[in-house]
């Protein structure tokens, strides 16, 4: 249980796909002009990640390693198609505002990377923990980015007016350069957080060693 929690936690901060591994960036910056887009994209991504990892983990002993990449691509593309069609049918507005980025989940390096590095080697339970951790790690960054950008650039959160009406929205944050700007600060913050956590862990270990001595 503890091991599963550790796998799950990896994706949230230490190996956060967006902030630490720097993969799957395209959709993350592009759709985060509003919080609802961020949530939609995060959930779509988590869904595809979870099911592709589960399927590939179940069949990992049957897939010949020479042709594993094409097989992975077909599995991922199948789940992406499902998400795309479901979004178009039930959330047409959301699907329209995200445009080409839903079909592009298929070439998102996070999924390919996790499937290749993790799901093709591990059993079902730890794969579920890993995919949920990575998916939520992706989703929280998306929601965080979107919250900052929507609040400063539009004065709203998920469409609800938050800032007082006298607030003059800073359009910069909604425009593309603003996305890069906020994302850059997010990475800097995450690197700082990681350093801080590692340092506190080290002092704890040192203290434990001293006590033992």
Partner 1 sequence: MDLMKIFLLALLVNNIVVMRFLALCSYIGMTSDVGQSVGMGFAVTFVTVLATAATWPIYNYILVPLNLTFLQILIFILVIASLVQLVEFYLKKNVPGLYSAMGIYLPLITTNCAILAVTFENISFKYNFIESIAYSVGVSLGYLLAMVLLAGIRDRMKTSPVPKFLQGTPILFMATALIGIAFMGFSGLIK
Q: Applying CB under 8 A, which residues contact partner 1?
A: 22-27, 29-30, 70, 73-74, 77-78, 80-81, 84-85, 100, 103-104, 106-109, 112, 175-181, 183-185, 187-188, 191-192
Tell me how far, at minimum, the Cβ of 77 lies from partner 1, in Å: 4
Output the smallest distance, CB 46 to partner 1, in A: 18
**Judged by CB, which is closer to partner 1: 185, or 208?**
185
The least distance separating partner 1 from the CB of residue 118, rounded to whole angstroms, comes to: 17
Question: Given the complex with partner 1, which of 54 and 73 has the nearer CB atom?
Answer: 73
Q: What's the min distance (Å) between Cβ of 101 and partner 1?
A: 9
The residue among 25 and 43 lying less far from partner 1, judged by its C-beta, is 25
DSSP assignments along the chain, one per residue: -HHHHHHHHHHHTTT-TTTTS--SHHHHHHSTTSHHHHHHHHHHHHHHHHHHHHHHHHTTTTS-GGGHHHHHHHHHHHHHHHHHHHHHHH-HHHHHHHGGGTGGGGG-HHHHHHIIIIITTS-HHHHHHHHHHHHHHHHHHHHHHHHHHHHHHHSEETTEE-S-TT----GGGTSHHHHHHHHHHHHHHHHHHHHHHHHHHHHHHHHHHHHH-
Q: How far is the CB of 104 from partner 1 (least distance, A)?
A: 5
**Cβ-contact 200, 159 below 8 angstroms:** no
Nearer to partner 1, 188 or 208 (CB): 188
Q: Rank residues 111 and 132 by Cβ distance to partner 1 and give the closer one.
A: 111
């Amino acid at each position: 249980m503890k091991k599963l929690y550790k796998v799950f936690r990896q994706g949230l901060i230490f190996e956060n796909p967006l902030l630490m591994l720097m993969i799957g960036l395209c959709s993350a910056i592009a759709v985060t002009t509003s919080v609802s887009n961020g949530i939609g994209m995060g959930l779509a991504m988590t869904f595809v990640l979870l099911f592709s990892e589960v399927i590939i983990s179940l069949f990992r002993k049957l897939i010949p390693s020479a042709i594993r990449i094409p097989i992975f691509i077909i599995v991922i593309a199948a789940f992406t198609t499902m998400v795309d069609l479901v979004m178009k049918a039930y959330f047409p507005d959301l699907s329209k505002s995200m445009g080409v980025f839903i079909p592009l989940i298929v070439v998102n390096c996070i999924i390919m990377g996790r499937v290749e590095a993790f799901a093709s080697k591990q059993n079902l339970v730890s794969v579920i923990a890993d995919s949920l951790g990575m998916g939520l790690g992706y989703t929280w960054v998306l929601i965080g980015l979107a919250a900052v950008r929507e609040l400063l650039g539009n004065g709203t959160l998920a469409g609800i007016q938050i800032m007082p009406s006298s607030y003059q929205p800073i359009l910069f944050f909604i425009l593309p350069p603003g996305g890069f700007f906020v994302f850059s600060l997010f990475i800097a913050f995450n690197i700082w957080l990681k350093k801080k956590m590692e340092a506190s862990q080290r002092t704890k270990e040192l203290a434990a060693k001293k006590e033992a001595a």
